[in-house]
Structure 1
Amino acid sequence: MLTRRLFVGLFAGFCAVCQAGQGPAGELPPIQKVAINKHRALEVNNQVFFPLMAWLQDASNFQAVRDCGMNTVAGYWPKSSGTRDVTEYIELVRKAGLYGVMPYHEGLKGHPALLAYIHDDEPDLPQQVSDAQVVPDKRLRINRSTPLWRIVDGVTHTWSVLDPLEGASVTIRLPQPVTAESVAVWLTVSKGLAVARQVSFAADGREVLKVELANKAGQQKFPLAKPVTFRELTFTVHSIYPGQNEWGSVGEIEAFDSQGKNVLLSPPRMEPRVMPARVMEQYRKMKAGDPSRPVFMTLTGYFHPHFGKWTDQQRQSLYPQYIKATDVVGYDIYPIYGWNKPEWIHLVYEATGQLVEMAGNRPVYAWIETSKGGQWTGALENQKDVLPMHIRAEVWMAICNGATAIGYFTHVWKPAYSQFGVPEENRKALAEINRQITRLAPAILAPPPRQQVAIKAEDDTKLAVLARQHDGALYLFAVNYDQRMRKARATITIDGLVAGREVTVIDESRSVKAQQGKFIDEFEPLAVHIYRVEL
């Protein structure tokens, strides 16, 4: 038989679902209105709504999305699910009982499943940009993943592909004349590739050196007969050491003046994939086309100084501009899936707080990892597992530091590509996590209480708590986000808490008895506890 306290908790949870705009089975009502309230929460039809999103999914995965307790799909890939465009895709979203956060299309306006629009992904992603002008001859097939400017970037372990290598010619155009006394070539030698053999250099169209290269990697340097002044230097491959492929590559081309300076050197600089001004243009077009829906934007996690991708000055300049160009802003940091570093898990908590501070009154969301199998973290057997405890902790780290929406990245590339490559145990965990969030959404998205609330471990273990007041009760959402995997004995202080008061630990079938102004509980590594205190 249920205890009265447990029955009350279950009944309150049932009511919370209804108040959040979903029925007991999780049905989503047709959207008539979307708004953002003063507590940075999304509202659908005047009821608070907590988006739980899956990224870029084929319609064949929609049932898995729902089974994992998610309520929204975000993003659209052209022709996804055999659709003509996103207006057909959103219909599949609606029929699956989900909401959509979609790229802008005028045909989406007023659609009952359209929650929001979304910018192209990660406009702040750093990319190398070079001012160097390296012009290929007409015969060369350009490999955009190895741009020709790499042969003058000063990085000798990168290369530019010349395809075909034999007969290849590239011209380096300089902004002003330079004088050189020697030239050098860095060859790349790899199994199966052709290697440059006889090459020549021409200064402003006049040949100044023709030489045979050794079939070896590294720098090969040659003096010129006399100093040569030029604005254009043309490098031509006349013959090759044959390989299995007709293409080959060159690491670097150099020319040195009398002081030994490489006068061809043109290091690249880092720029965002899309500059903020361009993103603002896109935002204004979307809002002009349909002001009835908010606009989402996902950034990388590189606003966090941990990654060192931007200088402090660049971060302080770029990110406020991006945030002005959206209504709802999120980010993605995958400590294990993306970096194979569980010890970075605390960054999810820190980054959420940093983005919340920058976002002002805008809602913030975090994308959360769900599996190993990333394409950039080495062989699958060397990748560390993303476990249910990691997913749960990361979700609540984000929520406890201000996130009012959560997204899940479910794509894996290893051992084979899958859009929804989530292991079964993690699917079960996602379902539990998301159903709990949905049930408690009115409390999570409620205003903060009047009372001061704090959490502290006996040692320096990292703990966080989010306090909210809802339906005559105080809700506390607490997480141990310490990357050192420490247990902690935590003291939670609440102004005015009366000694002897029962503190319900939600979904754990237990309670804690309060002392005057506080109560104490134990936290395992990465543990999450949710408390309800009757006021």
Structure 2
Amino acid sequence: MKELLLIACCVLIASSAMAGPVKIGIEKDHTLTFNGERFLPLGVAPGPPSDFKTPDGKNGWKELADGGINYFRSGPSEQNWDDATLKKLEADIAAVEAVGGIGAWVFLRELSNLEPNHPEREAMLRRMINKYKDRPGVFFWKNEDEPAWGKKSPEGLAKGYKLIRELDPDRPVITIQAPRNTIEELRRYNDSCDISGADIYPVSIPMGKNSHLPNKNISVVGDYTKRMVEVVHDQKPIFMVLGVTWSGVVPARGNTLIRPTFEQMRYMTYQAFIDGAKGIHWFGFPGVLSEKDQPYGWNWTYWYSVMKPLLSEFKKGTELNAVLIAPKDDMKLRVEGADDIEYLARRVNGKVYVLAAKREGPEAAIKFSGLGAKGTADVMFENRSVPVTDGVISDTFKPNAVHIYRVQAN
């Protein structure tokens, strides 16, 4: 850790694309704001190589930002706080400042845990925060990963959190928990973050081996989302982490390589939003790369086939993004036909939007009533519409189907 002294010598690189202060706020409804404007955090972890390119030679950071990603994790993972780690962190931040629209989620790891038996950490933590707190390419801080499962000190992390926010009141601290532990055990860490959440990667062979709940299907994402809302007493935003490639699918560890299909990832993402997530990031783009993707250090194949098309539905500037970040004007509907439908119904700009997702039960004919609208409902992204009769939408849902309806409000 002595290498942390090197941070005082790193050169700050000025940015032409991204300048000025960054202030990330949290509204009463837990929606985040970026310099006063409501926004939907969409991230990747870990981040890519600092100088990475797309297969056609373009700037990879710009491709991510244009595709909808607005934050990424940087800092040590399995590495130590050595010269290479610090140089990459600086290079990552400089790279995104040159692009704009995307910022680092800086992983402070053990530095954020100010335990009494590690007095050296406080000085190192101060250096890190003071060095980067005014950089436009830094959006969030990350403390210890999965602290409850790792049995990290709640008191040490609370002390570290307090210092971070004293030094930098403009950037939230995020804690991501493992899909483990009891609710009471997880609550011990509520005082060490502004934003909480969990990682859950149900797609595996056999399915659901990452889950410690009875549900081993992909709908367990919603179970963990609601669980984390309960952990924080619905008093903080929740970010969920979904898996592209995780340890339980790595062949070198004796597993079968499998990744979520577009349909699976779409379901898990929307289910998380419906059940209360205010941000989502996707884990494992650098993991187990094909021969085609290895030169880039990034799973561009999955990006172009799954993530970019999915993000195009709700990234910044889209109609659905405005719905997801809108101040709450949510509606209670009556749902008939199955007991495993989850939905979010919201009035925005004179329209009613219904985001509906079905769990794994059999195909069913579903009725949503109480919309207070009539006419025709567009089914977004499906090139079809359904009639709205006396405030009722009727449609068919297959297992893990997602349908998003838009209808003019009366």
Could you state the TM-score of these two structures normalised by the residue count of structure 1?
0.59
The one-character-per-residue Cα deviations of 1:138-196 (angstroms, maximum 9, x if unpaired) are: xxxxxxxxxxxxxxxxxxxxxxxxxxxxxxxxxxxxxxxxxxxxxxxxxxxxxxxxxxx
The one-character-per-residue Cα deviations of 1:339-385 (angstroms, maximum 9, x if unpaired) are: 64384211101110111233223111111112477466777784444
Call closer, same or farther: CA 1:445–1:381 in 2, change over 3 Å: same
Query: 1:103 aligned to 99, 103, 107, which one?
Result: 107
Q: Distance in 2 between matches of 1:533 and 1:377?
A: 47
Q: Distance in 2 between matches of 1:335 and 1:383?
A: 13
The one-character-per-residue Cα deviations of 1:7-35 (angstroms, maximum 9, x if unpaired) are: xxxxxxxxxxxxxxxxxxxx988653221
Q: Contact conserved, 1:370 with 1:422, CA < 8 A, in 2?
A: no
Partner of 2:394: 520
Call closer, same or farther: CA 1:338–1:39 in 2, change over 3 Å: farther
Partner of 2:70: 71
Q: Distance in 2 between matches of 1:275 and 1:84?
A: 29
Partner of 2:312: 435
Unaligned runs of at least 5 residues, structure 2: 1-16, 53-59, 109-127, 210-215
Q: Contact conserved, 1:453 with 1:493, CA < 8 A, in 2?
A: yes
- TM-superposed CA distance for 1:117, in Å, is 1.1
Call closer, same or farther: CA 1:420–1:446 in 2, change over 3 Å: farther
The one-character-per-residue Cα deviations of 1:26-51 (angstroms, maximum 9, x if unpaired) are: x9886532211112111012111111
Call closer, same or farther: CA 1:453–1:41 in 2, change over 3 Å: same
Partner of 2:200: 333
Partner of 2:229: 356
97-106 vs 388-397, which moves further? 97-106
The one-character-per-residue Cα deviations of 1:93-113 (angstroms, maximum 9, x if unpaired) are: 222432111135221112212
Query: 1:393 aligned to 240, 264, 267, which one?
Result: 267
- RMSD of aligned residue pairs (Cα, Å): 3.0
Q: Residues 290-439 of structure 1 correspond to what in structure 2 (within 5 A)?
A: 290-302=168-180, 310=181, 315-337=182-204, 340-341=207-208, 343-359=216-232, 360-371=234-245, 374=248, 382-410=256-284, 411-413=286-288, 422=299, 424=301, 427-438=304-315, 439=318
3-state DSSP of counterpart to 2:139: strand
Call closer, same or farther: CA 1:454–1:76 in 2, change over 3 Å: farther
389-398 vs 431-440, which moves further? 431-440
Q: Distance in 1 between matches of 2:346 and 2:200?
A: 26
Partner of 1:289: 167
Q: Contact conserved, 1:468 with 1:476, CA < 8 A, in 2?
A: yes
Amino acid corresponding to residue 357 of structure 1 in structure 2:
E
The one-character-per-residue Cα deviations of 1:49-77 (angstroms, maximum 9, x if unpaired) are: 11111112222444464465322112322
Partner of 1:41: 31
Q: Which has the higher strand share?
A: 1
The one-character-per-residue Cα deviations of 1:459-486 (angstroms, maximum 9, x if unpaired) are: 44x221112222122221111232x5x3
- TM-superposed CA distance for 1:454, in Å, is 4.1
Partner of 1:93: 96
3-state DSSP of counterpart to 1:436: coil
Amino acid corresponding to residue 489 of structure 1 in structure 2:
A
Q: Distance in 1 between matches of 2:83 and 2:206?
A: 29
Partner of 2:332: 452
Call closer, same or farther: CA 1:413–1:32 in 2, change over 3 Å: closer
Call closer, same or farther: CA 1:340–1:414 in 2, change over 3 Å: farther
3-state DSSP of counterpart to 2:389: coil
370-379 vs 318-327, which moves further? 370-379
- TM-superposed CA distance for 1:413, in Å, is 4.0
Partner of 1:492: 368
Q: Contact conserved, 1:337 with 1:372, CA < 8 A, in 2?
A: no
Q: Percent identity?
A: 21
